[in-house]
Amino acid sequence: MSARAFVELCEVGPRDGLQNERRIVSVADKLRYIALLAGAGFREIEATSFVSPKWVPQLADAEEVLPAAIAAHPGTLFSVLVPNERGLERALACGARKVSVFTAASEGFARRNINATIAESIERFRPVVARARAAGVPVRGYVSCAVACPFDGPVAPEAVRETCARLAEVGVDELDLGDTIGVAHPDEIERMLAACAEVRPMEQLVLHLHDTHGRALACAGRALDLGVRRFDGSTGGIGGCPYAPGATGNVATERLAELCEARGFATGVDRGQLAEAARFIAGVLGPAAPLDPAAPLGPAAPLGSAPPPG
């Protein structure tokens, strides 16, 4: 009997899942959550972000979380978001072995999320990618709003391909395509993936779906049909971006695992242990609603500081 083909699931709950929660989860609970996820067998877990704590106070404890996670789970790859050279320095000082830069296919979201135009963000990433790679640390490049933008509306596949090409030109190792606000239909995902596959082969692309309209699994199914073999998910479907109004959580990792297995793929993820992680983090977060998507954008929202950019 031949071995089943493999689909790689990256768990982003500790980063994307927790960055949008009103309550700030303690370091101890984050590490317990990460331990349960590591026990479920993920090769890669996105652990936290080294972004400005004024912009995302929920992850201001990255210096405590990442080194402890690496020490406790040496067999797991912990990736982290870095928006600039300062973030990279902080991540490397904590022993990061993989980092992710992040921009968008739409100018409106780039401005609100990282206070830069797409072109400025790419130039900001150039030294980040060079320094990371010189340190032997691979770099993921996220492209948000790969189908639609909460500020600019629908996003053309050509715009997504263009941002992918710019990221590839600065040397990122992988491209991760985000339906940040979870509005995609499978046909739109297909057109977007076809455009991006002109930059990197389909099996190397990563798909990062949010599930605002309940179509994320249908989109993942279409992507599997097209040859995509790498997906991000967040336990229990928690999360969202605080700078994407109206967006809800990521597609639930357990549902992705179920879909892949039903299609005959192996994922290496123990769904029983994953369910335990989902129960744990749901208990920690409680019934409280995530940040109000209609709340004002920018660091002013969580901290009451300067008005948001743009």
Write out the residues near ligand HMG by the rule CB under 6 A: 16, 19, 49-52, 54-56, 81, 83-84, 86-87, 90, 102, 113-115, 142, 144, 178, 180, 208, 210, 241, 243
Residue (18 or 259) nearer to ligand HMG, CB = 18
Q: Pick what 106 binds: Mg ion, ligand HMG, none; C-beta below 5 to 8 Å, kind-dependent.
A: none
Beta carbon nearer to ligand HMG, 55 or 280:
55
CB closer to ligand HMG, 18 vs 68: 18
Is 94 assigned a catalytic role? no
* SS3 sequence of the chain: CCCCCECEEEECHHHHHCCCCCCCCCHHHHHHHHHHHHHCCCCEEEEEECCCCCCCHHHCCHHHHHHHHHHHCCCCEEEEECCCHHHHHHHHHCCCCEEEEEEECCHHHHHHHHCCCHHHHHHHHHHHHHHHHHCCCCEEEEEECCCEECCCEECCHHHHHHHHHHHHHHCCCEEEEEECCCCCCHHHHHHHHHHHCCCCCHHHCEEEEECCCCCHHHHHHHHHHHCCCEEEEEHHHCCCCCCCCCCCCECEHHHHHHHHHHCCCECCCCHHHHHHHHHHHHHHHCCCCCCCCCCCCCCHHHHCCCCCCC
Contact partner, 267, from Mg ion, ligand HMG, none, Cβ < 5-8 Å per class: none
* Least distance (Å) between residue 75 CB and Mg ion: 25
Which of the choices Mg ion, ligand HMG, none does residue 102 contact, using the CB cut-off of 5 to 8 A by kind?
Answer: ligand HMG
Q: Which stretch binds Mg ion (CB under 5 A): 8-16, 39-47, 69-77, 157-165?
A: 8-16
Catalytically annotated residue among 145, 149, 241, 260: 241
Q: To the nearest whole angstrom, how small is the minimum distance from the Cβ of residue 16 to Mg ion?
A: 4
46 interacts with Mg ion by CB under 5 A: no
Segment 16 to 45, residues that bind Mg ion, using CB under 5 A: 16
Nearer to Mg ion, 65 or 143 (CB): 143
| Residue closer to ligand HMG (CB basis): 49 or 76 | 49
Q: Would you please indicate which residues are annotated as catalytic (active-site) residues? A: 241
**Which residues contact Mg ion (rule: CB under 5 A)?**
16
